[in-house]
Structure 1
Amino acid sequence: MTTVHQANFGGLRERKKARTRAAIREHALRLFREQGYESTTVEQIAAAAEVSPSTFFRYFPTKEDVVLRDDFDDRILEAFGRQPASLTPIAAIRAALREAIATLTPAEWEEFREASVLGLTVPEIRARTLDELSRTIDVMAGALAKRIGRTADDLTVRTYVGAVFGVMLSVLSPAAWGADVGEQTFQRMDEALALLESGLPL
């Protein structure tokens, strides 16, 4: 009984943390929209989310992180891990993307769009984007290496992941999507990954 109680308590605590994190991010994006990124302070975000500034920093180390860090990458990685071994790595990535996208609510889509625009228009956030991209590539390389029985620093693994992310970035660039990121963007990304898998015939 004690073990069950502890498991339930742990689950409740994790859900509470997830709600707090989501509330902070929701209020931050609202304030950025209403008064601009530069004019919004961490103190204002914390007050709107009814948490202390120190609590804000427990969830997001910097103001930039509230834009850059969501759980979408985690959803993709979890879905990637569930794909059958019979799929090629790119096919598994495409399937994982489709699964993750299907979990997004309309409100989450709106947050995703706003964060994407901020990430490309606010200099401080753009400067951090490469760091976050490097971290995501490392994580994905680890997931792919586990899937195919290699190490995360294997040159083939790193090259493969680099090619996949290169395709994704080419579709997510402002020249490709303008001012909006939506389901059609990810449909185009899926098509681009299919081209990569086929050897990019010209």
Structure 2
Amino acid sequence: MDLRQRRRAETQRAIQSHALRLFVERGYDSTTVADVAHAAGVSPMTLYRHFPTKEDLVLTDQYDRLIAEQIAATPAAGSLVHRIGSTLVQVARIAVGSGADTAADASANLSDEGFLDRVRLMISTPALRARHWDSQFATQKAIVDAVCDDPADPDLEFRAWVAAAACLAAMNVALMRWAEQDGGPDLPALIADALSAAFADEFA
């Protein structure tokens, strides 16, 4: 990222950090966007430039881009399920701060200190649950766009949509278990276990 993009990302992280703190302390429905803007020391207009809706304060992250980049960088030799699932496990390592394996990952500061709070809010808040399931379409599309690079295979896009949906469903079950257990289990391992339960032959 260039300097301007870094500053924008830093502002977003600061606003989101204040939002999560207030949502946890006061409750999502009891906290207004104006409350978040005041706590973050920015105007409501500035907040809305970074987060167009209140739900975005919880759900916005960089993971769709990261998932797509990592899938595109993986060899296409393996099955779609294994390729997608392995990437989701690796991105989970980055999300919980244990997977900045490259200088690019580290410099992007993608580890998410508020990730557990975000998952808890997503599970417990009806409006966020609805938006989360809607946002899964964007994640699936990012995955499909990253793997559909073979024009000679007309069925690849269909199979990619199916594989992405199945892997994300397994990941969501793992996220719910992780949040229910207060973030105690190792999240990447839990996602790997969920993928193994769904696709024993691929993740034995």
Give the TM interval when normalised to the shorter protein. 0.7 to 0.9
Judging changes above 3 Å, is the alpha-carbon distance between structure 1 residues 158 and 34 closer, same or farther for their aligned structure 2 residues? same
**Contact in 2 for aligned 1:113/1:182 (Cα 8 Å):** no
1:30-56 Cα offsets, whole Å, 9 max, x none, are: 111222212211112112222211111
Which residue of structure 1 aligns with residue 123 of structure 2? 120
Shift of 1:200: 8.8
- Structure 2 Cα separation of the partners of residues 46 and 151 of structure 1: 48
In structure 2, what residue type is equivalent to 1:82?
Answer: A
Instruction: Pick the structure with greater CA Rg.
Output: 1
Judging changes above 3 Å, is the alpha-carbon distance between structure 1 residues 65 and 179 closer, same or farther for their aligned structure 2 residues? farther
Judging changes above 3 Å, is the alpha-carbon distance between structure 1 residues 185 and 119 closer, same or farther for their aligned structure 2 residues? same
Q: Mean Cα displacement is larger for which, 41-50 or 146-155?
A: 146-155
In structure 2, what residue type is equivalent to 1:189?
Answer: I
The normalised TM-score by structure 1 is: 0.79
**Contact in 2 for aligned 1:142/1:151 (Cα 8 Å):** no
Which residue of structure 1 aligns with residue 83 of structure 2? 92
Q: Which of 141, 159, 162 is the aligned partner of 2:162?
A: 159
Which residue of structure 1 aligns with residue 5 of structure 2? 14
How large is the Cα RMSD of the aligned pairs? Answer: 3.0
**Contact in 2 for aligned 1:24/1:45 (Cα 8 Å):** yes
The normalised TM-score by structure 2 is: 0.78
Q: Secondary structure at the match of 1:154?
A: helix
Aligned length: 191
Q: Which of 19, 23, 34 is the aligned partner of 1:32?
A: 23
> Is there any run of 5+ residues in structure 2 with no aligned partner, and where?
99-109
Q: Percent identity over the alignment?
A: 32
Q: Which of 121, 133, 138 is the aligned partner of 2:136?
A: 133
- Structure 2 Cα separation of the partners of residues 13 and 155 of structure 1: 38
Matches within 5 A, 1:40-59: 40-59=31-50
**Larger RCO, structure (CA 8 Å, separation 6 or more):** 2
Q: Which of 56, 59, 75 is the aligned partner of 1:65?
A: 56
| Superposition misfits of 4+ residues, deviation over 6 angstroms | none
**Contact in 1 for aligned 2:150/2:156 (Cα 8 Å):** no
In structure 2, what residue type is equivalent to 1:122?
Answer: T
In structure 2, what residue type is equivalent to 1:178?
Answer: E
Which residue of structure 1 aligns with residue 105 of structure 2? none
Which residue of structure 1 aligns with residue 182 of structure 2? 180
Which residue of structure 2 aligns with residue 190 of structure 1? 192
> Is there any run of 5+ residues in structure 1 with no aligned partner, and where?
1-9
Which residue of structure 2 aligns with residue 80 of structure 1? 71
